[in-house]
Structure 1
């Protein structure tokens, strides 16, 4: 079975008539939109017709841009040395900058439409876009003057976006020198990081030490990139009137501070229980002072929970079918139609992601599959993202954009399906292995996310005063890890370079790309609990929920399935499910 994806449904190549035609069409449409905006958005006449025109143009240009940029991004993701991909990413980003003037003129015009709600109500077409337009109207309070917005957009091309591209290239091409089985080897960073899952403790430790050593080659460049990006974010958020980068992220996420505080409070209260898990795992592996970070992903138990790629596919399909045939058939299509790039290789970025491509009604999934149980659940996770995209493919493009916190719902829901199925079939040894693998993931999403949240908060705080040195960044990361993991980890074996490894820190438009993962895990557990209560009758409700994510506030989406995200008790009840797994893990650890 093929382990690389096929991108022909987007474009055959950069040189193809299809790509070049769309790229040129994009330039023309942006010029036309800008000219029309300059000529027509300086007066309040015919507001309904103007709104319809802008909506139609945004749909067309947005679709073109999504196709073109996704193709370039996917090419670059699997080959950091793809010069054509890098070139076109830069060109398409410039096109997005060229669109700024038309966008700013529209937003400025929209800001003056005090009667927007009545205008929307007067048109059947506009009513289809009510949430989009009203949300855009609310955001106009943070709008700068036209020349300021255009200048910022242009400077970002040689500022944060350039820093982000640099970090992507140097981390994707970083090779790790390591000696394994008596032979000196050079491994791509993702392959070296995958050694953390190896059965041999010596290999895990060697991988960790070699990885940290390799980061020294790019630490100064990475620090410069991070400082440049965070400095830019602080400048632009202040200019726009946000209290902080966190406030901007909260508003963009369609949640509110009350919801975030409720979740973070519940997470902090759960940390001691997670530390019990880490300490117990450390004891089982022969460590006395907590778990060394290099053993965090050590496979546990004697049960062989490995999967070939074909076995992983079959296992996922079998268990997705227990939820719905729709989910099973969709997943079969993803495998059969070569939507997944699964093999680790040099130049390919690490980790995993799913790109939902609304204009063609398809998705593409990147993974670095090495046969572990965790890798199998990661595939299920990313297929959940793809299913979410499939549920939205018939919505208008402008109504299909969901925010980061709700983005993890379908992915973690699908991951939960396969994990729970595995637990049902398991004997004690297998259950122990599965529980431990599941707790590895939960710990990353709750405890490590807390560390990342604390780190980023502190970095912004320090960056307001000065650019952080490499040593300051390392010290801040160690501080954050100690705050989150406490005595659960061995403080002499933490990871001072985690800020180099995580690409989420290097996007000016995605500050605090950490707490949404915790939100997603805990919200998805709440949704899954509703499924367990209601059974098959819940399936259409679940699909309806996913379809609603692009045009509702998160609290309203949650209410569709009886969840109140502003209530701290909801978050505590979801965390209690994980705490029960920790108790069961500790119990089984004394029996197997």
Structure 2
């Protein structure tokens, strides 16, 4: 067996982020100074405002929130830094210790500041509404109004403070344990060229290999690794399912999705309409997979075949080539967007190389408003990785521009957070498509985009349906076995794949490495929301051309300072229109139509 590898070979070797814009390193004395100063300022803020929130008029409320915003940035900065260090290398115990220390300090500050929110939420509407509508409230108006949606679900202050302090040894501890385990996963893959030990990201990348035996071996190896860790991963999931249940009971929430819906500023009715629209279109997924089965010359498509490339070609994308393509694509859309993208590459705001101990997947982490976001990905030189980089840079642009509205409102609801990322994918995809040289290349590009759409729209609804089933089962049946969770997983996946894709018994374990279930319950429908919304927005962009761009960038700049409905309305999109989802799904259908036509031309 080869030495434990991050790595399949990646041209992104050496591409690691530089966190010096936060701190020079974990031993930087400024980090401890910031922790101490945040504690001191929190005490000063509490002494000044505790018991007095009801006395604040609109100008005074604005000033208090500006102070709270600055204090929140100061308190969060050490924790953001620690989480980034830990994501880059969770195998170093010192990084885990720093996460624990900064999280505990952050919780102390937050517990001490809870009074402000609770006193605000205790005020009646005839007190809060005049403050919110007063022009003097300025940029904080939506922040104040949004918070009121949580009014029925807050607890007494001593309870809220205790829950915040206990969370570091409760749910957050189990989330960290999940990260520690999954970032260290190694898979023994029996490749035709010989056995290799690969981390999770490199193993998953092999599912895109043109050789079916390689795909099968990668799937088998991942399953073996997940099963060997199933006892602890199942326990973690059960603990967090029950933690969510207890939280819902304490806060008198009506159902498991309510907390996420409130944060996303979306009704359950709207979520159900989205889910129903996607579930009703599963036939187009199966239609495409029938086409793919034929194009690959297979009798049956298995779960490990879904991402097989149509063309047996090298198709390697070096990191430099990816950088050029993504930067050029964003710059062609808008020069300012291109400049922001170039900053990420030029100033080492991206960590892309493959390493043992590094977190799998990809994310963009928004930082303090006086700094910038950081992006993590695991680059394996595949065309799909180019789209991942484009996706995360969409997040990065959004987070960078939204610094203008301040730290408290720069964070968007998840439904809107996925808009810029998916839009960025579309920008790069159409640039690639327009430059395609022949029908075969065009078909391969279309197939990749269709499959990405399936992963972002339909699969995310599958994940949401699985979560709903898992939460319901945990509440009605008690602690769930690995086998029971596997049943729920397979049941949720069956409608999307129908009788066209055979899900092997190995696939029963593949719920257990997905971090969204652990860190952010019911996150995933936001991907479907964002993707279908982007298809509508991109269609508008194709019609309007450059006239569309200023309004779109303004939407990004506004961050979370308005509701999703108000953010997209200036772009001509009505989130209350039930036809919105159907229009997006129809555009995916159009891509399948074109793929079928191109395939017919090859026959």
Q: Normalized against structure 1, the TM-score is what? A: 0.95
Q: CA deviation at 1:121?
A: 4.9
Q: Is the 8 A contact 2:394 2:421 kept in 1?
A: yes
Q: Is the 8 A contact 2:489 2:511 kept in 1?
A: yes
* Partner residue in 1 for 2:144: 133
* Partner residue in 2 for 1:90: 100
The structure-2 alpha-carbon separation of the partners of 1:77 and 1:167, relative to structure 1 and needing over 3 Å to count, comes to same
Q: Of 558, 572, 585, which residue of structure 2 is paired with 1:575?
A: 585
Is 93-102 or 247-256 further displaced after alignment? 93-102
**Unaligned residue ranges in structure 2 (runs of 5+):** 1-11
Q: Is the 8 A contact 1:481 1:494 kept in 2?
A: no
Q: CA deviation at 1:234?
A: 1.0
Once the two structures are superposed, the pairs formed by residues 133-282 of structure 1 within 5 Å of their partners are 133-282=144-293
- Count of matched residue pairs: 586
Q: Is the 8 A contact 1:259 1:567 kept in 2?
A: no
Question: Does 1:463 find its partner at 2:447?
Answer: no
Q: Of 487, 491, 495, which residue of structure 1 is paired with 2:503?
A: 491
* Partner residue in 1 for 2:494: 482
Q: CA deviation at 1:504?
A: 0.5
Q: Is the 8 A contact 1:120 1:130 kept in 2?
A: yes
Q: CA deviation at 1:13?
A: 0.7
* Partner residue in 2 for 1:118: 130
Q: Normalized against structure 2, the TM-score is what? A: 0.93
Question: Does 1:546 find its partner at 2:556?
Answer: yes
User: How many angstroms apart in 2 are the aligned matches of 1:46 and 1:340?
Assistant: 43
Q: CA deviation at 1:55?
A: 1.1
Q: CA deviation at 1:546?
A: 1.2
User: How many angstroms apart in 1 are the aligned matches of 2:53 and 2:96?
Assistant: 40
Q: Is the 8 A contact 1:223 1:470 kept in 2?
A: yes
Q: Of 423, 436, 461, which residue of structure 2 is paired with 1:450?
A: 461
Q: CA deviation at 1:378?
A: 1.0
Q: Deviations over 1:142-197 (max 9, x none)?
A: 11111221222233222211111111101111111122245332211211111111
Question: Does 1:292 find its partner at 2:298?
Answer: no
Q: Is the 8 A contact 2:418 2:526 kept in 1?
A: yes
Q: Is the 8 A contact 1:160 1:229 kept in 2?
A: yes
**Unaligned residue ranges in structure 1 (runs of 5+):** none
Q: CA deviation at 1:343?
A: 1.3
Question: Does 1:505 find its partner at 2:526?
Answer: no
User: How many angstroms apart in 1 are the aligned matches of 2:387 and 2:552?
Assistant: 20
Q: Of 324, 328, 341, which residue of structure 1 is paired with 2:338?
A: 328
Q: Is the 8 A contact 1:436 1:585 kept in 2?
A: yes
User: How many angstroms apart in 2 are the aligned matches of 1:197 and 1:270?
Assistant: 25
Q: Deviations over 1:224-264 (max 9, x none)?
A: 11111110111111211210121221111011223222222
* Partner residue in 2 for 1:360: 370
The structure-2 alpha-carbon separation of the partners of 1:94 and 1:53, relative to structure 1 and needing over 3 Å to count, comes to farther
- SS of the residue 1:500 aligns to: coil
- SS of the residue 1:61 aligns to: helix
User: How many angstroms apart in 2 are the aligned matches of 1:46 and 1:493?
Assistant: 61
Q: CA deviation at 1:400?
A: 1.1
User: How many angstroms apart in 2 are the aligned matches of 1:104 and 1:409?
Assistant: 31
* Partner residue in 1 for 2:430: 420
User: How many angstroms apart in 2 are the aligned matches of 1:412 and 1:12?
Assistant: 33
RMSD across aligned C-alpha pairs, in angstroms?
A: 1.9
The structure-2 alpha-carbon separation of the partners of 1:206 and 1:43, relative to structure 1 and needing over 3 Å to count, comes to closer
Q: Is the 8 A contact 2:319 2:381 kept in 1?
A: yes
* Partner residue in 2 for 1:71: 81
The structure-2 alpha-carbon separation of the partners of 1:112 and 1:501, relative to structure 1 and needing over 3 Å to count, comes to closer
Q: Is the 8 A contact 2:132 2:145 kept in 1?
A: no
